[in-house]
Amino acid sequence: MKTIHIDFTDLGDYEDFYAQLKEKITLPEFFGDNLDALTDFITGFAELPLHLEFVNMSVDQLETFEDLLLTLEDTEEETEGFTFAYFLEQYEDEEGEGEGEENKEK
């Protein structure tokens, strides 16, 4: 299975997203930078199986890219061989432990 990682660390908008996507995967010349084109690509042109993974998303980006996330979740449900996941960036707390890590007694 091919996995494509999109790092959201420096993504501010959809233009940034599509630019990074085009660096990671070869899209048809007629690909339009919109959600319909992305769905059409995944369901009709992408070599499956394919896993698309977004990393380092901020809480603000969840709202900015909400339509993208919902579209990919729907596409995942409807397309055999396509999976999708996203992960929020982690922050260091005062004790230097990453958010979501278990506290281990020493």
Calpha distance 72→78 (Å, rounded): 10
Joined together, the tokens standing for residue 33 give 């930078």
What are the backbone dihedrals phi and psi of residue 34, each rounded to the nearest 5 degrees, phi first?
Answer: -155, 165
Q: Are 1 and 47 in contact (CB under 8 A)?
A: no
pLDDT of residue 69: 98
pLDDT of residue 22: 95
Order of strands across the sheet with 82-88? Answer: 2-7, 50-57, 82-88
Q: Does domain 2-88 have CATH number 3.30.370.10?
A: yes
pLDDT of residue 91: 65
- The number of beta carbons lying within 10 Å of the beta carbon of residue 75 is 20
Low pLDDT (below 50) residues in the chain: 97-106
pLDDT of residue 92: 62
pLDDT of residue 21: 96
Percent of the chain's residues with pLDDT above 70: 85
pLDDT of residue 103: 31
pTM, full prediction: 0.81
Q: Are 51 and 83 in contact (CB under 8 A)?
A: yes
